[in-house]
Amino acid sequence: MRRATVGLLSRKQQPRTVATWHPRLFHSKGNHGSAEALGTVAKLPEAEPVAPLKPRQNVSLADIQERRAKAGRLVAMTAAYSDSDMFKGPSVGKPKARRWDHHISPEAAVREPCVLKQAAKHLKKPGIISLGGGLPCPEYFPIESLTLRVPQSPHFSEAATRASGQDLHIGKYDVASQKSEYDLSIALNYHQATGSAQLLRFVTEHTELVCNPPYADWRSCLTVGSTGSLEQAFRLLCNGARGDSVLTEEYSFSTALETAAPLGIALVGVRMDEQGLLPESMDEILTNWDAGERGGARKPHVLYTVPSGQNPTGATQGEERRREIYRVAQRHDVYIIEDEPYYFLQMQPHSASSGGPVKEGVVQAGAPEPESVDAFLGSLIPSLLSMDTDGRVMRLDSFSKVLSPGTRLGWVTASEQMIERYIRHAEVCNQGPSGLSQVVVHKLLDETWGHEGYLRWLMNLRVEYTKRRDVMMAACERYLPGEIVSWSPPVAGMFAWFKVDPTLHPDARNGRTALDIEEEIFNLCIDKGVLVGRGSWFRVPEEPYPHKVTLAEKSTKEEPNEIFFRATFAAATSENMTEAIRRFSEAVKEVYKL
Amino acid sequence: MRRATVGLLSRKQQPRTVATWHPRLFHSKGNHGSAEALGTVAKLPEAEPVAPLKPRQNVSLADIQERRAKAGRLVAMTAAYSDSDMFKGPSVGKPKARRWDHHISPEAAVREPCVLKQAAKHLKKPGIISLGGGLPCPEYFPIESLTLRVPQSPHFSEAATRASGQDLHIGKYDVASQKSEYDLSIALNYHQATGSAQLLRFVTEHTELVCNPPYADWRSCLTVGSTGSLEQAFRLLCNGARGDSVLTEEYSFSTALETAAPLGIALVGVRMDEQGLLPESMDEILTNWDAGERGGARKPHVLYTVPSGQNPTGATQGEERRREIYRVAQRHDVYIIEDEPYYFLQMQPHSASSGGPVKEGVVQAGAPEPESVDAFLGSLIPSLLSMDTDGRVMRLDSFSKVLSPGTRLGWVTASEQMIERYIRHAEVCNQGPSGLSQVVVHKLLDETWGHEGYLRWLMNLRVEYTKRRDVMMAACERYLPGEIVSWSPPVAGMFAWFKVDPTLHPDARNGRTALDIEEEIFNLCIDKGVLVGRGSWFRVPEEPYPHKVTLAEKSTKEEPNEIFFRATFAAATSENMTEAIRRFSEAVKEVYKL
C-alpha cells in the first residue's frame, strides 16, 4: 500500500525545532456580523509551536486531527486573508519550487494586487473602524438560515438519506454564537479571491492527504470550477503573440480546444495508447521541434493533460507512465497542467472483455474493493502533483464530478509563485466562487462528514461508477460487433471510447473517408435514438498554428484514417444504457452492411 | 411619474396580429431527475398567440403576470437552452440594434460555440437516449433538500424574519412532483452558460420593468457578478495589440484599472463634476484625439461608466446628463459599458448640508418617499440602457449590493450580437454562476416574493441607505472643518467623497505636494483608528499608454493638485460611523495645524 498511515511520533520523540508551517498569526478584528472585517487575516489561536515531523511520504487523518486539535478554533471573519501555509503540515526537508518567470505570460506578469484588498492590512490595528471597503452590512442579506438534508456517512443512498439523513443548520450569526467557524454573515459577503479560509483549510488538508506535494511552498486556491481554472492557467502561462503552443493528448477535451483557439494558442496533439499520452511521442515532438516548420510557433513549454479517465478516450495513465511524462517535462522545461476531474472516479478493475485485454500496469486485475479509507487512498494512482519535486505542476481539482457541477466549485494547487499570479487574475475575473456554495460544501464536508466521511463518500462513488461501467461493458460485449468495434474497459472516469475500423467498411476502397463513415454512423445513431460523441469533435487539428497565417503553402497531411465514438456511462439508467448500446450497435452494423 | 403603469388592453382590444416574441417552442424531453436532458430547450406550453401591444415606454407588473399566466408552466430541465426572447414582451415597432463587428476584439470574434452543447440539439428528438454529455446523475448529489428562512415581504427586518419569517423548501425532485419549476436535481447539475431558464426569466422581466430597452433584440445573460462581467466586456471589446483605449471617469473603480492594465488597455480619464462624468470633456477628448500624441493609442471606442453612486466619488448622473453622454457616444461611435451595482441604492434627497448645495437636476429636494412600487420605479433615474435606441450599451447588473455579494450572481443586458459573444466566452471561463446561488435566489425572488415583493425589498433598502447616509452626513456637518473639507451628500450608492483643499495647508508654499498631504492624513487616520480610501488609489493615470513604451520622451505633466478621500456608509454601525468621521476630522485638523 503506497499510502499506509505513518504512525504519529509521540510528543517526546518530536525534535523541538521551530515549526516552518503556519508562519503568520495576525490580529483579526473578531467583530461579529459586521462587514468591517474586510481583509482581516484568518486566525488560529496561538498554539505552542508544533514540532516538524520528519519529511515523509504520507500524511494521515490522525495527523490532521491532531494538528487541528492543537490549533484550536479557526477565526476567519468577513473576507479574511488566508493561504494554505496556515493549514499545511510541516514541510521541513522539502525543496522549494523552481521559479517560472520565463514561462509566465506578459499579461500575468504585470498584474498588480487589488489596492483595496491591500489596504485592508490596516484592519489588524485593534479598534480601527473601517470606512474603507464597500461591503454591505449582513443585516441586509435576506437569508436568515439554511437547512440542508444530507446523507449520514456511510449511508449515502437517496433512500437512506430520506429515511435517516441528517439536517444541517447554517445560521447567519453562528460564528458570534460560537456554533460554527463559518456562517451566512461571512459566506454571503465578499471573500478573498482564494475563497474562504474555512473551505481553503479543508481542500488544503485533503490535497495533503491525497497528493502530499513533495516540495515546500505549494498552495491551493479555491476556484469557480476547472473550466475557469483552465482558461486562467492558459492566460497565466501562454501568449498568442509570443507564438506559444501547448501539448495535449491527440484526442483532447473539446472545451480545452475551444478555450485555447481564441487566445491564439496552438495545441499540439501527442499520440496516445490505452494508457493515454505517450511520453516518447511527447519527447520526440519536443526534441525535433522546428519553429520554422511549425509556422513560427515556439517549442511547447506547457503540457495540458487529463491523467485519469481522460476525456474523451477514458484512458488512464498508470503510475510509471506518469513518472515518464514528468521526466520528459523536466528534460524539456515543460510546465504541466494536470486536470483531474475524474481522479476519484477510479474504479475496480474490469475482469475481462471481448474488446481489449485487462490493463496490467494501470490497475491490478482482481484487486479487492478497498474497505478502509487508508486502503482506498492507497489504491489511487499517484497524481503528477505527488511526484512534483520541481513545483512544475498545476493541478486542477473540481467538486463537479464528485459532489455536484452546480456548486461551480473547485481548487487549484501549485507553487506559491503560480498561485499568487492565479489569485491576482481571480480578483478581477470572478472574485472566487459563490459563498453559498462554499458554506454549504464546508458544512457538509468539513463540519459534518470530516475528511474520513468525505473519503467514504468517494469510496461509495467508486462502487457506483464501477457498477455503471460494468453495465455498459456487458452491453458492449453482448451487442457490439467485435470484428469492427474495439474498446478497452475504462478504469476511471465517465467515458468509454469505441474504435471503429474504417478499413473494413464495404466502400473503404471507393474513396469513402473515415470522417464520412463516422458521420454516417452518427446520423444513423440519432435516427435510431441514441446520442454519442463523435471522435472528430475532440481531435486536435494537425495544423492549428494561427501564426502561420502568412504562409501560402498548406499542409498536405491527410485526414487521419480513424473513427472513434465516445459514450458516457455516468448519466443513463441501466436499462437505457443497455438499450442505447444496442442502438449504437445496430447503427454500426447497418452502415457496415452486416 | 415616468413609469406609471399603462393599463392592459382587454382581450377584445388587442389587435390579432402574430406575436413577435417567444419565437421558439421546441420539444423538451421532460425526463425528471435524470441528467440526460443536457441542452434541451426550455419549454412553455403552447399558448394561443399573444397579440403585440402598441410600442410604449413601460411594462407593468400586471403585463408580466398576464404573460406568465398565458404561458403556463415553464419546463426547463437540466442544462436546458434558453434566452431572453422566450420571456420578453412584444418588441413590435422597436428597431433592431446596430452591429458592432468593428468594435469586437479579434479574440472575441473567432470564438466558436461549444461543440458538445451544440450536439445537444439532437436531444429534442423524442425518445432519444443520451450517452453524449458527461453529466453526473443527480442520484449522486449529496443534498436532498434545502430550507431557507427568509423575510416575508414587506416585513424585511432581521427581527421580523426571526419572529415571523417564512421557511422555503427546495427539494431534489420538486419538478417531477410538480411542486416547483426548478429544483436541486437541475440546479446542482450543469447549466448553460446563460444560467438557468428559471432565473433568466426573472432577470429578463425585471430588466423590462426597470429599463425596457427601446430596441427589439436585447438579451440578458446571468453572470458570476459584475467584476467578472467587466473583464469579459473588456476582452470582448478591446485588444491591447490594436492599441485600444477606454474612456472612464477620472476617478474610477480601482478594480477596473487593475482589470484593464494587464490587458494592455489604456484607460483615459474624463473630467467630472458633482454629477459625475462631463459629456463636454468626453466630447473634447474624442474630437481632438491624436494617436501620435497618445503613444499610438487608438481613439477610444468604449466608455466604462458607473452612472449611479459612482465608485469612488459617489456622484450620480442625472437624467439629462445621461442623455448627453449617450449623444456624445453616438457622435463618436463609442460603445458604453454601464456598470450599475448601486442603481437601486438611489436614496431620498438629503435636505441640506454645509458641504454642498442640494443637487437639483439629479433628485428633487423634498420629494416624498415612494410608497407604491410604481412610484418607486418612477423615482429611479432612467438608465442608459433605457435610452439605448442603438443597442450600444452593455449594462452590468449585480445582486451583490442588493441581496448579497456571496451569491456571486449578476446579469448583463445588451444586444443579441454582444450577448452571444459574451456567452461564448462564459462557456469557457466560468460556465455561468453557481446553481446553488441560482436556485436559492430564484426560490426567494421568483417563487416567493415575485417582482412586486422584490421591488418592495429594494424600496426597503432605499430607506435603510438613506438613514445610513444621513447619519454620516450629520457627523460630517458636526465634525469636519468646512473651510478645508468639502463634500456633497450622495444621492445613490455607498460612498461619500471628501475634497480636501491642498492650498490651505500651512506648508503648501514650501513644495509640499497634494499627494504628500494625502498620505500624511491617511496615515494619521490609521493612527487615530479609522480606515478611509485615498483618492489617489482611484485616479486614472495621466499617461497610461502601454503602447508608448518605445517613446523616450516622458510626459512632463504634474501630479494633480487635488486631495480626496472616500468613505463608505454601508458597513459600520451609526455609533462607529460617527466616531470614525470624528477621527477623520481630527486627523485633517492635526495635519492642517488647526
Q: Is residue B384 part of a domain?
A: yes
B159 touches A at CB < 8 Å: no
Number of domains in chain B: 1
- Cα distances (angstroms) measured from residue B189 to each of B136, B185, B455: 7, 6, 30
- Average pLDDT rounded to a whole number, residues B419-430: 98
Residue with cell 517549442: A299
| Nearest in space to B196 (alpha carbons), one of B11, B394, B373, B40 | B40
Return d(Cα A144, Cα A534) in angstroms, integer: 48
- At B559, the pLDDT band (50, 70, 90 cuts) reads low
3-state secondary structure of B248: strand
A168 touches B at CB < 8 Å: no
One DSSP character per residue, A147-182 reads EEEEPBTTB-SHHHHHHH-EEEEEETTTTTTTS-S-
The CATH number given to whatever domain includes residue B532 is: 3.40.640.10
Residue B357 has pLDDT above 70, yes or no: no
Q: Is residue B473 part of a domain?
A: yes
8 Å CB contact of A107 and B262: yes
B147, B407, B427 member nearest A147 (Cβ): B147
| Nearest in space to A257 (alpha carbons), one of A561, A564, A537 | A537
8 Å CB contact of A131 and B579: no
Return d(Cα A129, Cα A118) in angstroms, integer: 16
Neighbours of A287 (CB within 10 A): 11
* Pairing relationship of beta strands B218-223 and B495-500 according to DSSP bridges: unpaired
For residue A150, the chain B residues in CB contact (below 8 A) are: 142-144
Return d(Cα A52, Cα A34) in angstroms, integer: 37
Probe site for chain B from A129, A158, A398, A446 (most B CB atoms < 10 A): A129
- At B389, the pLDDT band (50, 70, 90 cuts) reads very high
| Nearest in space to A390 (alpha carbons), one of A586, A100, A123 | A100
Element (H, E) at A337: strand A335-339
Instruction: Report pLDDT for A31.
Output: 35
Q: Is residue B147 part of a domain?
A: no
Return d(Cα A577, Cα A568) in angstroms, integer: 9
Give the gap in angstroms from C-alpha A570 to the nearest C-alpha of chain B. Answer: 6
The per-type count for chain A, helices as H runs and strands as E runs, is: 16, 17
Residue B33 has pLDDT above 60, yes or no: no
Beta carbons of B461 and B432 less than 8 angstroms apart: no
| Nearest in space to A240 (alpha carbons), one of B313, B106, B202, B167 | B106
For residue A231, the chain B residues in CB contact (below 8 A) are: 428-429
HSE toward the beta carbon, residue A41, CA cutoff 13 A = 20
A117 touches B at CB < 8 Å: no
Residue B112 has pLDDT above 80, yes or no: yes
Q: Residue B220: beta bridge partners? A: B413
3-state secondary structure B69-92: HHHCCCECCCCCECCHHHCCCCCC
> C-alpha grid cell for residue A307?
491523467
Element (H, E) at B5: none
- Average pLDDT rounded to a whole number, residues B123-146: 94
For residue A156, the chain B residues in CB contact (below 8 A) are: 142
Return d(Cα A289, Cα A295) in angstroms, integer: 11
8 Å CB contact of B128 and A531: yes
For residue A304, the chain B residues in CB contact (below 8 A) are: none
Return d(Cα A575, Cα A543) in angstroms, integer: 42
Beta carbons of A228 and A337 less than 8 angstroms apart: no
B444 touches A at CB < 8 Å: yes
Residues 6+ apart with CB under 8 A from B457: A142, B151, B153, B154, B156, B402, B449
Which residue range(s) make up the domain with B503? 225-348+373-408+434-591
> C-alpha grid cell for residue B444?
426567494
Return d(Cα A328, Cα B306) in angstroms, integer: 51
- Burial zone of B98 (CB within 10 Å; 0-12 exposed, 13-18 middle, 19+ buried): middle
8 Å CB contact of B431 and A570: no
Q: Is residue B486 part of a domain?
A: yes
3-state secondary structure B11-67: HHHCCCCCCCCCCCCCCCCCCCCCHHHCCCECECCCCCCCCCCCCCCCCCHHHHHHH
Q: Which is it for the CA torsion B479, B481, B482, B487, positive or negative?
A: negative
Instruction: Report pLDDT for B374.
Output: 95
Probe site for chain A from B143, B153, B164, B409 (most A CB atoms < 10 A): B143
8 Å CB contact of A435 and B35: no
Residue B89 has pLDDT above 80, yes or no: yes
| Nearest in space to B137 (alpha carbons), one of B76, B195, B190 | B190
Q: Is residue B107 part of a domain?
A: no
- At B24, the pLDDT band (50, 70, 90 cuts) reads very low
- Average pLDDT rounded to a whole number, residues B139-159: 97
Instruction: Report pLDDT for A560.
Output: 76
Count of A-B CB contacts under 8 Å: 382
One DSSP character per residue, B184-236 reads HHHHTS---TT--HHHHHHHHHHHHHHT--SSSSEEEEEES-HHHHHHHHHHH
Beta carbons of A36 and A123 less than 8 angstroms apart: yes
Q: At what angle do helices A416-429 and A226-237 cross, to 10 degrees?
A: 110
8 Å CB contact of B134 and A568: yes
Return d(Cα B36, Cα B38) in angstroms, integer: 6
- At B543, the pLDDT band (50, 70, 90 cuts) reads low
ipTM of the complex: 0.90
Q: Is residue B459 part of a domain?
A: yes
Beta carbons of A69 and A36 less than 8 angstroms apart: no
Q: Is residue B399 part of a domain?
A: yes
For residue A406, the chain B residues in CB contact (below 8 A) are: 141, 187-191, 434-436, 438-439
Burial B102-131 (b: 16+ CB within 10 A, else e): ebbbebbeebeebbbbebbebbbeeebbbb
3-state secondary structure B130-155: ECCCCCCCHHHCCCCEEEEEECECCE
- Tell me the pLDDT tens digit for each residue of B254-289: 999 999 999 999 999 999 999 999 999 999 999 999
For residue B140, the chain A residues in CB contact (below 8 A) are: 404, 461, 464
Return d(Cα A415, Cα A99) in angstroms, integer: 9
Residues of chain A under the 70 pLDDT cut: 1-40, 44-57, 352-366, 543-559
DSSP-derived letter for residue A442 is I
Give the gap in angstroms from C-alpha B147 to the nearest C-alpha of chain A. Answer: 5
8 Å CB contact of B114 and A255: yes
Q: Is residue B378 part of a domain?
A: yes
Probe site for chain A from B158, B174, B409, B531 (most A CB atoms < 10 A): B531
Supply the mean pLDDT for chain B: 88
Probe site for chain B from A232, A525, A531, A582 (most B CB atoms < 10 A): A531
